[in-house]
Structure 1
Amino acid sequence: MQHIFITGANRGIGLELVKQFLAQGSKVTATYRDQQNAQALLALAESHSTLTCLQLDVTDYPAVESLTENLKAIDILINNAGYYGPKGYGFRHTDIQEWRNVLEINTIAPLKLVEALFPLLQQGHEKKIMCLSSKVGSMTENTSGGGYIYRSSKAALNSVVKSLSNDLSDKGFTVLALHPGWVQTEMGGPNALITTEESATGLVNVITNSNISDSGSFVNYLGEELPW
């Protein structure tokens, strides 16, 4: 039974990924930060013996380091936890502390999690590391400006993905940056184009069918490659 580790799984895309991998018969370890906002995930665990829920702040690095003490081999790591930060700001109105928070959660924490879980990932059969990025992190696609905080965090995450791919491909790892689409979540808003189910279905398909020849790519939930 393959073991999937998913961060930020208490709602939105993360929760839907949990549901779909469980439906496929996978064992899932899912993290959440705040128990009060994780009732749907915790309820799911009550009816699925193959789901383990862990309370974790991905920026609590000592806690991240201690994860290996109670976990076994991991086949697929999905860095899904993310933070958009403030909305509606523009040039000359960036909040420095919020920028630091977004970079911490979206860029630094995913790499530290990979480093902490690397021994367990090496023991897995799939050896896949998936990082939820965004098309707004693409330099090529940035034709409208603005969005300094979130854009820069995802562009930096894409750079992390490329470096991880270069460092780990010879060890059999597949590392991808994934764009989930514009999704109807708390972050995406009600005007978004696709549902969490549609996004997660596409992402699961991309993750399942990816292999080492794809490593270092930036692709959307439909499997289409995006420009850096």
Structure 2
Amino acid sequence: MPTVFITGASRGLGLEFVRQYRADGWDVIATCRDPSAAPDLTATGAEVHALDVADDAALSALGRALAGRTFDVLINNAGIYPLKGPQGSFGDIPVDPWMECLRTNVVAPWKVAETFVANLEKAERPVLATVSSKMGSIADASSPGSVVYRSSKAGVNMVIKGLSIELGPRGIICLSMHPGWVQTDMGGPHALITPQESITGMRRLIANASPADNGCFYAYDGQEVPW
């Protein structure tokens, strides 16, 4: 049975990833900060571990606990959107939340890859997929605001590009994925698509990924997103 490892799986996109992979018979290893506060996740029957991806010691400990396991797919889904509204506007952006956002959204995906690269190398066609956002596309940026989140997603796109260069020779396909504007706590009720639609599309990207896709940035519907 193939195995997928998913970070940030307590709700939203991460939880839907877990549900869909479980429904298809995959072994799912899921993480969240506090499993005791994630009843929907534990109800899926997935193997659940506590993990704050920005906590180096916790990440290293989980890496040791899962050493020797095979990951066919690793999904960097954990991320935060710390500032909304006026606090995210020019002239009113506090530094600490910005640094926290960069730590979680940019640095952590690289450290997760370093921690579990040996698990991926054990698979026949390993894929390391990271949930980014079209909001990180520099070519697409045309409106003010949300610079904290936008900069973090632009940063993680460079991380994925860097990982594709590092890990491509090891046979690992690295993807950056735009989930669309999704009806989650982050996307809000007026978003355009459901979590089911988004995850179905991103799972299709992962399933069909070839070495030619290594280091690419795709939307959930298969369209390539400009950097």
Summarize the alignment of residues 49-64 of structure 1 with structure 2, pairs less than 5 Å apart: 51-64=46-59
In the alignment, the residues of structure 2 paired with residue 162 and residue 37 of structure 1 have an alpha-carbon distance, to the nearest angstrom, of 34
- Which residue number corresponds to residue 191 of structure 1? 190
Provide the rounded CA distance (Å) in 2 between the counterparts of 1:40 and 1:120: 27
Report the Cα distance in structure 2 between the residues aligned to 1:33 and 1:69, rounded to whole angstroms. 18
Percent sequence identity over aligned pairs: 44
Report runs of 4+ in structure 1 exceeding 6 Å deviation. Answer: none
Q: When the two structures are superposed, what TM-score results if normalisation uses the length of structure 2?
A: 0.95
8 A contact 1:99–1:149 mirrored in 2: yes
Cα deviation, residue 23, structure 1: 1.4
> CA RMSD, aligned part only?
1.0
**1:70 aligns with one of 44, 65, 70:** 65
**Residue 36 of structure 1: how far off its partner (Å):** 4.7
Structure 2 residue aligned with 1:131: 130
1:82 is aligned to 79
Q: Shift of the alpha carbon at 1:34?
A: 2.2
Distance 2:160 2:152 in 1: 12
Q: Within 5 Å, which residues of 2 pair with 1:120-159?
A: 120-159=119-158
- Check conservation: 2:83, 2:146, Cα contact below 8 A: no
Q: Unaligned 5+ residue runs, structure 1?
A: 46-50
> 8 Å contact 2:18–2:44 — kept in the other structure?
no
Gaps (5+ residues) in structure 2?
A: none
Task: Give yes or no for the alignment of 1:161 onto 2:160.
Answer: yes
Task: Please name the residue that 1:24 is paired with.
Answer: 24
Measure how far apart 1:171 and its partner are.
Answer: 1.2
Distance (Å, rounded) in 2 between the aligned partners of 1:92 and 1:114: 35
Structure 1 length as normaliser, TM-score? 0.95
Aligned pair 1:222/2:217, yes or no?
A: no
Corresponding residue number in structure 2 for 1:48? none
- Could you tell me how far apart the structure 1 residues matched to 2:30 and 2:107 are? 19
Equivalent-residue separation in structure 2 for 1:24 and 1:3 (angstroms) = 11
Q: How many residues align?
A: 223
